[in-house]
Structure 1
Amino acid sequence: MLKLRFLGNGGSGTGECPALYATDQDTYAVQGWTTSRTDTVEIPHLLLGFAEPDTYVGAQLADTGRGTFTLMGRPVTDPETLAQVTKLADNESVIEVPKNARRFYGNAAAAQ
């Protein structure tokens, strides 16, 4: 079981989901809209703004062109972990992705 700490949510009409959580395994749990793949969710761009300071979601993002990204991770299926999710709609699932440390910003990052 992962222990989740809520970081932020938004993007749906109700404002309660999708959501971003930090885990006790130094990863992120991402609650997003389900896609045709069990290891991939779709999230609004704004959700990434809830990442902890000096970190970023360490998953490859694909821009859908409609204000959302898809990203791939390990599907979270453990009932105890999912019970910690504030509200999980029928069309949503949760994946676990790496939490990476941000060491460089802007042009300094491009030089690395």
Structure 2
Amino acid sequence: MEYERQNHEILEVTTVSTPHRTAIVKRHHTMYAHVRLTASEQTAVGQEFTLGIRLARWDDGETVTDYTPTLTVMVDGEPVAEVDPVDGEATFPLQFADPGTYTITVGCPTVQPATVEVVVG
């Protein structure tokens, strides 16, 4: 399988041959940068915790430093902030006033987003 980077996405490149023609077919495979999140699985009501954000390359997981888009932090599907990674990494403090399980998603249209769940008790 061959792959090609075109802007912010990785394309799967396939050659299709018939007796009369040869065509190069390029299809979306994945995004170049994937968001990786680190966070505590549990926290207390009113306690601040830090969400770690890292942009990783799709193929080897190395930190992406040549592309740093503005990322949206969403809690339960609602945007709460924007973060600008520096050298592919960022942190974001979060604090919850009510107990429950919260779904945190970080991404933007040009990266593969990531999601974590945090239980607040």
TM-score (norm 1): 0.31
Bigger proportion of residues as helix: 1
Structure ID, larger Rg: 2
Which structure's relative contact order is higher, taking Cα pairs within 8 Å and 6+ residues apart?
Answer: 1
Bigger proportion of residues as strand: 2
